[in-house]
Amino acid sequence: MTEQLGLFDGSNAHDPAQTRLNVRESTKARRLSLRLLPPHTLELVVPRGTKPSAVQAFVTQHRGWIARAREEIAASRGAGSDRLPENIELASVGRTWEVRYRHAPALRPRCCVVAELLEVRTRDRDLGSARAVLRAWLLDQAKAHLPPLLLRQAQIVGRRPKSVQIRLQKTRWGSCSGSGNISLNAGLLFLDGSLVRYLLIHELCHLFSLNHSERFWKYVEEFEPDYRVLDRRLTAAWAQVPLWVHVA
């Protein structure tokens, strides 16, 4: 199916600057969906068993969205890959920082809050070093904020995970293992609270049912009646994660 898509997704195999539509077959997905993943990935999720003709019809129907996503990726490659953020907004916790950078050979690489500014300290002006420091800071922020939010929601849902892990991931906002461990993406901090709350409910409901069966979605609907709208918004929310989070 992947090879077939290359023939009709509008990509040009001879143009290396154009983003190809990556196809991922999923046993969990209930429907076809398109995702713009950081930093430069365009993905089509296909439920296992979907007929190629249905996939082609879906891609044809969404050609406009695909073209706009490719333009956005091309613009970000040129404009954002060589920049560091001047401001960082973590919408889910309602915090915004103005960022400044200090470079000195004797400095310990880390982020510090100085007079309400987020100061990124590195030993040199290497962009990769600064991004690594920012990613470490983001993980610390996520470890401080996301587990308490999850455990608070767990009291409402009535299921508590065995453990909570925080990671930086490119393709998943969260996951739940068969042993009851929940993993959350630090990038959730860039999303608004309603999307974070939905994702937490989604993963906690996997403690009732690990698959995406009707039974699972009934649990989700019990705690979030608008889950369909929120699920679509969450799928499209990858564009809200800044490039520096994933560009080395």
Q: What is the mean pLDDT of residues 83-106?
A: 95
Tens digits of residue pLDDT in 208-245: 999 889 999 999 999 999 999 999 899 888 888 988 99
Q: Which residue has the higher pLDDT, 77 or 124?
A: 124
What is the predicted pLDDT for the residue at 77? 61
Reply yes or no on whether the pLDDT at 58 is more than 80: yes
What is the predicted pLDDT for the residue at 230? 96
Tens digits of residue pLDDT in 62-73: 999 898 888 877
Which two three-digit tokens encode residue 207?
């403690």
Reply yes or no on whether the pLDDT at 48 is more than 50: yes
What's the sign of the alpha-carbon dihedral 196, 70, 25, 62? positive
pTM of the shown model = 0.78
Cβ pair 167, 185 in contact under 8 A: yes
What is the predicted pLDDT for the residue at 79? 56
Tens digits of residue pLDDT in 154-172: 999 999 999 999 999 888 8
Cβ pair 134, 120 in contact under 8 A: yes
Reply yes or no on whether the pLDDT at 5 is more than 70: no
What is the predicted pLDDT for the residue at 71? 83
Cβ pair 210, 176 in contact under 8 A: yes
> CA 196, CA 181: separation in Å to the nearest integer?
18
Kindly state the helix (H) or strand (E) to which residue 11 belongs, with its residue range: none
What is the predicted pLDDT for the residue at 15? 44
Cβ pair 208, 219 in contact under 8 A: yes
Reply yes or no on whether the pLDDT at 76 is more than 70: no
pLDDT > 90 fraction of the chain, expressed in percent and rounded: 65
- Of the listed ranges 6-15, 115-124, 138-147, the least confidently predicted one is 6-15
Q: What is the mean pLDDT of residues 192-218?
A: 95
Strands 117-122 and 95-103: parallel
84: left (phi over 0), alpha (psi -120 to 50) or beta: beta
Which domains are assigned to the chain?
2-79 (no CATH), 87-245 (3.30.2010.10)
Reply yes or no on whether the pLDDT at 202 is more than 50: yes
> CA 238, CA 37: separation in Å to the nearest integer?
5
Tens digits of residue pLDDT in 9-43: 555 444 444 678 889 888 878 889 888 776 678 88
What is the predicted pLDDT for the residue at 42? 86
